[in-house]
Chain A
Amino acid sequence: MGQLFAVEIIYRGVFQKTLAKNITRGIVLAAHNEGKLGISFGRYGDAPERNGIPAKSFAIIANDEQTLEAGMAQYEPKHVDLTVVLDDTLCKGAESWAWYGLQPVHHALKSGHTLIVVSLQDAPTLLKTIHRREEPYKLGILKGVTSFSGMWVYKDDHTDVRVLGAIAKALPELVSLKSVEKFITEKLKNSLKVTSTQTAYQRFTAVDVKPGKGNPEELFNFELLPWENMRNGVSIPGQPQGGPYADPVTKQTGGFRPARNELFKKYSTRTQRPVVNFSTCTKCTLCWLDCPDASFDVTPDGTYDANLEACCGCGICEAVCPVKDCVTMVNESLFHDNDSQWVRYKKDPHTYLKWLEKTIEMAEPDEKRSHGFRYRGQYQEQLPEALEVARKG
């Protein structure tokens, strides 16, 4: 039996669907240049894919057919030789819509193997969010702006080939740079992309992560019931009704908090989260009323607090809020908890508003934030900046 390789790409559903597919297909076709065989597939449980959900795509490579069979007919490989995370906010973990519980990004990564993250942040910052584990591994960062596009229009900013370059560096026994170059030249017929993959290869480095280093957060999990304990008639209990709750300072109860599903939280679905200025809120109700996820708790003050168990970070609240900077969407990777902003505000308004000001400064300006298609020609405008990052590595 020859050697079997498995590569896992963790990406944002729909936003990076084409990108992930290009990468896993690229791995198979590039490795094929070395006479290797392989398959490429997405995690079936992620389909039909929802935008923003953590999704997975895989490439399984072997030197011969019989070895390859060992990696076939599975929803996802149980152990992988390499994991690539295409959006650093995913470092908080991956819970696909068909998956019960939160998977750390390295949950299938073999001991001592490499985790590649596409990010503009450095390793120490990322390790604040990547969960700790017992086995050591390597963390490699591919410098780059998160590449998001949509279902039909693809933003070809070379992220695909840059990841292939990094993979060739991290796991040369899987595929060599030469084979990747050959694939790009012959199949993609794009010499500029060859340069991008070479630069990525040269610049890519990985640091060792010792056992136990990283985010100590307890992983949210769900136990599957035995058939005897499952309700009959394919029925399950519905959601209870919510109710008022207490002000942390005055202890007076009021407002309204809807029931929050115990078995599915949207912690890992977000790429950004709303931060709220409770002091300028006019209580117009729009963020609350227009939120498709019913994620706003109505505070006893009558303001609206984004409940991060339910918020998936779509940004509608920011779009409909009539007050400037009252609701602002900020990149999720800046946050390390899911605590109530309103509680923090109530306990110490001054500190909260200072923090809010700083946080909003760090937020990407709305027109630069890219979660897919906004107008025809937008991707072309964004390309030079992305390619510049690619050039510099």
Chain B
Amino acid sequence: MCHATHDLKAGKENIMSTTFVDEKPTQNLEAFKGVKKVPHEEYYTSGHRTCQACESAQIMKLMAKAAGPRTIVLGATGCMYVANTSYYSTPWGVPWMHTQLGSAGSGALGVAAALRVQMRKGAMKDEPINVIAFCGDGGGADMGLNAISATLTHPDYNLLILMYDNESYANTDIQISGTSPYGANTSFSTPGKVKRIMHHRWKKNVAPLMIAGHPTCKYVGTISTSYPLQAMNNIRKALSIGGPTFIHCLNPCPKGWDFDPVLSFELGELAVNTGIWPLYEVENGNLHLYGKTKDIANGRFKRLPVRDYLLKQGRFAHFVEDDIEYFQSKIDEMWTKWLVPGVIPLQKEVEADDPPAR
């Protein structure tokens, strides 16, 4: 990024030489080469009070491990706040602070700004410190996008916003959020005598929203806790590339999705293998799909039917065949009709949406 100097006669070099983006170095975290190379240290350990098999706690653990000791973590309100860090009992081995539900972006910006200016003025040791704001889908995808959008337009602050997505407001006992899947049973969309489907909106496509809306953002990606090494390495990449970055993680929630905790890991894999949860990263504007998603895209792996995923969860137990077929048709659409399959929902010719009667 550069700007024209006041001197209109200034030559190109002169223009190029005056840049407003004053990039600070990052910790430049190398990828872990294999699970055996993952360090033993835990910066998110016991003390949290999450559910059995809480995949949201899992991504917090992996995130802290990936980031390491020179890190500040902000935790926006959500079940990963309330269940996680209770007064005089905390799992955090790095400095952690509660951030209001709508403030993941502004909180991270404030921390990054404070570090930057104090290091510049010599009031604080000059060193790269990771700044991570951890927010849920309630805060991140609703609540005015949690002030993430504005923050992603500030290229000179190094920070990561990690949005964990358990597809509901799990903290308040499971209500619809902007990322709850079509038809899911939640406290605000329980099937009734007349209406079977109370939630008939489609899940927000959050990562591409960040990609399309913030051209100077260097890294946006999706991850899954069922692929922990990859998840950690993507987090390390996002922390190293410089500027504000965003990662969206899908986290199976045994409580809200209503499944036996032992299935947490399997459901994470199924979400990917059915094509419901595509894994990809956009690095300096380049999109690359990874893992099974890549195989799905270039036809090396046949997507599993969404039924295998839906019927393992109590929140979809009220689905009739029409609902399952409709859900399948929307996922097929992602892969057959979208201009960038699985990612960008622009279509050449759009067919009329035809959801089953509710």
Main secondary structure of the interface of A (DSSP, over half): loop
Say yes or no: A374 contacts B263, CB within 8 Å.
Answer: yes
Q: Is A242 an interface residue (CB 8 A)?
A: yes
Say yes or no: B261 contacts A294, CB within 8 Å.
Answer: no
Q: Is B312 an interface residue (CB 8 A)?
A: yes
| Complex interface: chain B residues within 8 A of A150 (CB) | 254-255, 258-259, 314
| Complex interface: chain B residues within 8 A of A374 (CB) | 259-260, 263, 312
At the interface with chain A, which of B12-20, B49-57, B124-132, B147-155? B49-57
Report the nearest B residue to A95, measured CB to CB.
B49
User: What is the size, in residues, of chain A's interface with B at 8 Å between Cβ atoms?
Assistant: 69
Q: How far is the CA of A150 from the CA of B317 in the complex (A)?
A: 12
- Residues of A279-319 at the interface with B, using a CB-CB cut-off of 8 Å, are 284-286, 289-295, 298, 307, 309-310, 312-316, 318-319
Contact bitstring B80-121, A, C-beta under 8 A = 1, else 0: 001100111111111110000000000000000000000000
Q: Is B171 an interface residue (CB 8 A)?
A: yes
| Complex interface: chain A residues within 8 A of B262 (CB) | 314-316, 318-319, 329, 366, 369, 371
Q: Given known contacts A152-B317, A261-B90, A371-B261, is B228 in contact with A97 (CB within 8 Å)? A: no
| Complex interface: chain A residues within 8 A of B256 (CB) | 151
> Contact partner of A372 among B36, B96, B185, B258, CB < 8 A?
B258
At the interface with chain A, which of B21-29, B38-46, B200-208? B38-46
Q: How far is the CA of A47 from the CA of B88 in the complex (A)?
A: 19
Main secondary structure of the interface of B (DSSP, over half): loop
Q: Which of A238, A286, A293 has most B Cβ within 10 Å? A: A293
Q: Which of B79, B87, B88, B170 has most A Cβ within 10 Å? A: B88
> Contact partner of A256 among B40, B93, B229, CB < 8 A?
B40
A261 to chain B, nearest CB (A): 3
> Contact partner of A242 among B45, B190, B228, B314, CB < 8 A?
B45
Say yes or no: B254 contacts A48, CB within 8 Å.
Answer: no
- Residues of B247-283 at the interface with A, using a CB-CB cut-off of 8 Å, are 254-256, 258-266
Q: Is B337 an interface residue (CB 8 A)?
A: no
Say yes or no: A292 contacts B55, CB within 8 Å.
Answer: yes
Say yes or no: B45 contacts A239, CB within 8 Å.
Answer: yes
A115 to chain B, nearest CB (A): 25
Say yes or no: A152 contacts B185, CB within 8 Å.
Answer: yes
Contact bitstring B136-176, A, C-beta under 8 A = 1, else 0: 00000000000000000000000000000000001111100
Q: How far is the CA of A289 from the CA of B79 in the complex (A)?
A: 22
Say yes or no: A372 contacts B47, CB within 8 Å.
Answer: no
| Complex interface: chain A residues within 8 A of B79 (CB) | 48
Say yes or no: A260 contacts B46, CB within 8 Å.
Answer: yes
A307 to chain B, nearest CB (A): 8
| Complex interface: chain B residues within 8 A of A152 (CB) | 185, 190, 258, 314-315, 317
Q: Given known contacts A150-B258, A256-B41, A294-B44, is B90 in contact with A238 (CB within 8 Å)? A: yes
Say yes or no: B255 contacts A151, CB within 8 Å.
Answer: yes
| Complex interface: chain B residues within 8 A of A259 (CB) | 42, 45-46, 93
Say yes or no: B314 contacts A372, CB within 8 Å.
Answer: yes
- Residues of A45-62 at the interface with B, using a CB-CB cut-off of 8 Å, are 47-53
| Complex interface: chain A residues within 8 A of B261 (CB) | 51-52, 314-316, 371-372
Report the nearest B residue to A260, measured CB to CB.
B46
Q: Is B123 an interface residue (CB 8 A)?
A: no
Q: Is A370 an interface residue (CB 8 A)?
A: yes
Q: Is B61 an interface residue (CB 8 A)?
A: yes
Say yes or no: A238 contacts B92, CB within 8 Å.
Answer: yes
Say yes or no: B90 contacts A239, CB within 8 Å.
Answer: yes
| Complex interface: chain A residues within 8 A of B35 (CB) | 284-286, 289
Say yes or no: B51 contacts A51, CB within 8 Å.
Answer: yes
Q: Is B216 an interface residue (CB 8 A)?
A: no
> Contact partner of B317 among A14, A260, A376, CB < 8 A?
A376
Q: How far is the CA of A49 from the CA of B312 in the complex (A)?
A: 22
Say yes or no: A261 contacts B47, CB within 8 Å.
Answer: yes
Q: How far is the CA of A264 from the CA of B172 in the complex (A)?
A: 22
Q: Is A263 an interface residue (CB 8 A)?
A: yes
Q: Is A375 an interface residue (CB 8 A)?
A: yes
| Complex interface: chain B residues within 8 A of A312 (CB) | 52
Q: How far is the CA of A123 from the CA of B53 in the complex (A)?
A: 32
| Complex interface: chain A residues within 8 A of B92 (CB) | 238-239
| Complex interface: chain A residues within 8 A of B93 (CB) | 238-241, 259
Q: Is B346 an interface residue (CB 8 A)?
A: no
Q: Is A266 an interface residue (CB 8 A)?
A: yes
> Contact partner of A375 among B42, B47, B170, B312, CB < 8 A?
B312
| Complex interface: chain A residues within 8 A of B42 (CB) | 241-242, 258-259, 294
Say yes or no: A293 contacts B46, CB within 8 Å.
Answer: yes
Say yes or no: B45 contacts A264, CB within 8 Å.
Answer: no
Say yes or no: B51 contacts A261, CB within 8 Å.
Answer: no
Q: Is A249 an interface residue (CB 8 A)?
A: no
Q: Is A73 an interface residue (CB 8 A)?
A: no
| Complex interface: chain A residues within 8 A of B47 (CB) | 239, 261, 263-264
Q: How far is the CA of A208 from the CA of B260 in the complex (A)?
A: 37
Report the nearest B residue to A371, measured CB to CB.
B260
| Complex interface: chain A residues within 8 A of B328 (CB) | none
Q: Is A153 an interface residue (CB 8 A)?
A: yes
A220 to chain B, nearest CB (A): 12
Q: Given known contacts A48-B82, A373-B313, is B61 in contact with A292 (CB within 8 Å)? A: yes
A308 to chain B, nearest CB (A): 11
Say yes or no: A53 contacts B38, CB within 8 Å.
Answer: no
Say yes or no: A372 contacts B254, CB within 8 Å.
Answer: yes
Say yes or no: B54 contacts A292, CB within 8 Å.
Answer: yes
Q: How far is the CA of A314 from the CA of B261 in the complex (A)?
A: 6
Q: How far is the CA of A245 from the CA of B233 in the complex (A)?
A: 28
| Complex interface: chain A residues within 8 A of B185 (CB) | 152
Q: How far is the CA of A375 from the CA of B312 in the complex (A)?
A: 4
Say yes or no: B260 contacts A370, CB within 8 Å.
Answer: yes
Say yes or no: B46 contacts A292, CB within 8 Å.
Answer: no
Q: How far is the CA of A369 from the CA of B265 in the complex (A)?
A: 17
Say yes or no: B46 contacts A373, CB within 8 Å.
Answer: no
| Complex interface: chain A residues within 8 A of B54 (CB) | 292, 314
Contact bitstring B164-202, A, C-beta under 8 A = 1, else 0: 000000111110000000000100001000000000000
Apart from A48-B83, A241-B42, A260-B45, list 13 A-B contacts with CB within 8 A. A48-B171, A49-B255, A50-B52, A51-B254, A239-B92, A242-B41, A259-B93, A289-B228, A294-B45, A315-B52, A316-B262, A318-B262, A373-B317
What are 8 A-B interface contacts by the 8 Å CB criterion? A264-B46, A264-B86, A292-B50, A292-B54, A294-B61, A298-B40, A318-B262, A374-B260
Query: Which 5 pairs, one residue from A and one from B, show the smallest C-beta to C-beta distance?
Result: A261-B47, A256-B40, A310-B46, A97-B49, A314-B53
